[in-house]
Amino acid sequence: MFYSISSVIPSNPLCHRRRCVVYNGEQIRYSQAWAWQQSEVAARRENPELDDVLMLLEHPPVYTLGKGSSLGFLKFDPNRRDVELYRVERGGEVTYHCPGQLVGYPILNLQYYRKDLHWYLRQLEEVIIKVLAEYGVRGDRLPGLTGVWVEGRKVAAIGIKVSRWITMHGFAFNVCPDLEGFQRIVPCGISDKPVGSLAQFVPDIQLPTVRQQIIAAFAATFEVNPIELELPQPLSES
């Protein structure tokens, strides 16, 4: 159903940076984005020379569990039919996605960067920290934890899966979401630190602006040449 088209983009001989195709999309159901990621990863296992990808999306309300996540961090019955819940192959515990939260799914071949998962996690944090700095907001890392905090509130969660050095899943940045859905879980399994959003510190934040700032920060952090494309047809029609 999904396909990779990045191999057909003409090369730019003036640019020595690795190209990264950016799909800057709107709301997409989590199940669709998950299948899309799997398709792109499979394509790069077959052809490691394909361009890298960054999917920048929003999701309707949905909860996701990491591969080894504990159901004990849910405050609702996981068998309820009115709640979307998926267990996926990323690391980390339970998290929540909803509109107003920008989710980034980088499909990168780390053999072209650095084969170091700790480095990769810190790079993803750095993307968010750079965007926060655009607003004069300081993003912090906390020792022993993954993600980005502002004044003790977690504004960005990170969970990844890497296979044959090809990445999937990624980061979730709370720009201006309704945070109520987080009250039904113990976010990331951390009970003593609240979840926050950029809008709590910058009330007039504009989501389209933040989208472009994430793309710019991602390009600067990973030293790639971003090429924006429209969503693949099966996704854009749904």
- The set of catalytic residues is 188
Q: Which residue do the tokens 């961090």 mark?
A: 73
User: If phi over 0 gives left and psi between -120 and 50 gives alpha, with beta otherwise, what is residue 198?
Assistant: alpha
What is d(CA 226, CA 124) in angstroms, rounded to the nearest whole number? 16
Residue 174's Cα: distance from chain center in Å? 11
What is d(CA 198, CA 169) in angstroms, rounded to the nearest whole number? 21
Instruction: Count the Cβ atoms, other than its own, within 10 Å of residue 108.
Output: 23
Compute and round to an integer the Cα radius of gyration of the chain. Answer: 17
Structure tokens at 98: 């909803």
**SS3 at position 81:** coil
What is d(CA 103, CA 170) in angstroms, rounded to the nearest whole number? 7
Instruction: Count the Cβ atoms, other than its own, within 10 Å of residue 217.
Output: 19
Dihedral angle sign, alpha carbons of residues 40, 155, 120, 130: positive
